[in-house]
């Protein structure tokens, strides 16, 4: 009897839960897509919508392509239009917006946002205003779980024009710090045409960090580096060709790339990844979580070399 009673209770709960799924807002998302497509400077809009299910909200992702020379006010208008729908019609749904205008990109995430449309528009406009001549910017914004200020957090990574190298990035960062006020929830960074970049999660990168980044970059392969206020670094480089780590000549060639940069990274918490032209991870050294990666026999040997030079890694 207890078993029968339990089954009845479970059936009742299941029926109750089935009725808890939020209503689909797919038609509203399609209307938003069409409205965005009608805005000036927009060339195409792609929508992906996932209907809500029990205990999981609806999800919408919008990818907007714009003319490469789209004006600042046109890009801001797209972001504001989408965010206004995110905070009203699609409030409580996981919403993502991706805007591309030439090399400039804007990413915006929202779920249950508190920010106003004006605040999101202003944050977008600030990032766009930092673009140098023939340059670009990657704007990454979120309005989710941001209790401070205008409830908008994110990063601006300002891209230098073609022909630029890592040597040009420190000057760019100093000029940005002189021109823009530091916000507690907005990070800044710079990138060069050679593939090197530095981004910081809160404010402008400190001079000591920029100097360390410069040493790492000058040691060899251009790296994309994300740095955080707690001192941790995440570095990734893209190798210009493929390497067969079973061949001694290729292992030696990799040593010429990796060892100088790993020495320059030195002590502290960091992650160092190298990816080949096919997208395969050739090297992954984890001094952040201190977890062996074992991407290859070469990776294992390199990790042993790092321990020999820097000492054992201490997990957080």
Residue 13: band (very low, low, confident or very high) from pLDDT cuts 50, 70, 90? very low
pLDDT of residue 53: 84
Residue 3: band (very low, low, confident or very high) from pLDDT cuts 50, 70, 90? low
Per the prediction, the chain carries an average pLDDT of 91
pLDDT of residue 211: 96
Tokens of 280: 């395969």
User: Which bin fits 304, alpha (ψ -120 to 50), beta or left (φ > 0)?
Assistant: alpha
Q: Which of 47-56, 88-97, 107-116, 224-233 has the lowest mean pLDDT?
A: 47-56
Residue ranges making up the domain that contains 92: 23-159
- Domain-embedded: residue 148: yes
**Residue 14 confidence (pLDDT) above 60:** no
Tell me what percent of the residues of the chain surpass a pLDDT of 70.
93
Over residues 261-281, the pLDDT tens digits come to 999 999 999 999 999 998 889
- Domain-embedded: residue 62: yes
Find out whether 50 and 68 touch, Cβ atoms under 8 Å. Answer: no
Number of separate domains in the chain: 1
- Domain-embedded: residue 134: yes
pLDDT of residue 90: 93
Over residues 111-162, the pLDDT tens digits come to 989 899 999 999 999 999 999 999 999 999 999 888 888 899 999 999 999 9
pLDDT of residue 20: 72
Tell me what percent of the residues of the chain surpass a pLDDT of 90.
76
**Residue 98 confidence (pLDDT) above 90:** yes
Q: Mean pLDDT across the stretch 188-202?
A: 97
- Domain with residue 72: its CATH number is 3.30.300
CA 134 to CA 62: how far, in whole Å? 27
Over residues 200-226, the pLDDT tens digits come to 999 999 999 999 999 999 988 999 999
- Domain-embedded: residue 314: no
- Domain-embedded: residue 171: no
Over residues 280-311, the pLDDT tens digits come to 899 999 999 998 877 678 988 999 999 999 99
**Residue 89 confidence (pLDDT) above 50:** yes
Q: Mean pLDDT across the stretch 26-49?
A: 97
pLDDT of residue 296: 79
CA 156 to CA 220: how far, in whole Å? 25
- Domain-embedded: residue 110: yes
- Domain-embedded: residue 52: yes
Report the DSSP pairing between strands 59-66 and 153-159: unpaired
**Residue 18 confidence (pLDDT) above 60:** no
The pTM is what?
0.89
CA 221 to CA 83: how far, in whole Å? 39
Q: Mean pLDDT across the stretch 79-106?
A: 96
């Amino acid at each position: 009897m207890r078993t029968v009673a339990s089954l009845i209770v479970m059936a009742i709960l299941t029926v109750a839960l089935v009725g808890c799924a939020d209503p689909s807002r797919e038609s509203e998302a399609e209307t938003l897509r069409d409205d965005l497509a009608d805005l000036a400077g927009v060339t195409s809009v792609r929508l992906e919508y996932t209907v809500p299910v029990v205990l999981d909200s609806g999800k919408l992702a919008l990818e907007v392509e714009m003319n490469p020379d789209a004006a600042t006010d046109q890009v801001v208008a797209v972001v504001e239009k989408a965010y206004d729908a995110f905070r009203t019609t699609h409030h409580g749904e996981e919403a993502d917006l991706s805007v591309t205008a030439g090399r400039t990109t804007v990413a915006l995430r929202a779920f249950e946002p508190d920010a106003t449309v004006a605040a999101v528009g202003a944050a977008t406009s600030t990032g766009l205003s930092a673009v140098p001549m023939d340059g670009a910017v990657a704007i990454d914004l979120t309005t989710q779980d941001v209790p401070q200020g205008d409830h908008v957090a994110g990063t601006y990574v300002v891209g230098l024009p073609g022909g630029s190298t890592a040597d040009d990035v420190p000057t760019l960062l100093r000029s940005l710090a002189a021109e823009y006020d530091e916000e507690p929830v907005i990070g800044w960074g710079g990138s060069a045409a050679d593939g090197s970049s530095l981004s910081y999660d809160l404010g402008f990168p400190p001079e000591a960090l920029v100097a360390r980044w410069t040493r790492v970059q000058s040691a060899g392969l251009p790296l994309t580096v994300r740095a955080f206020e707690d001192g941790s670094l995440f570095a990734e480089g893209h190798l210009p060709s493929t390497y067969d780590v079973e061949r001694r000549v290729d292992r030696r060639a990799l040593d010429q790339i990796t060892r100088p940069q790993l020495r320059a990274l030195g002590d502290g918490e960091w992650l160092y990844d190298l990816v080949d032209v096919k997208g395969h991870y050739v090297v992954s050294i984890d001094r952040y979580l201190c977890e062996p990666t074992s991407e290859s026999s070469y990776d294992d040997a390199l990790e042993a070399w790092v321990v020999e030079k820097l000492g054992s890694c201490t997990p957080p």
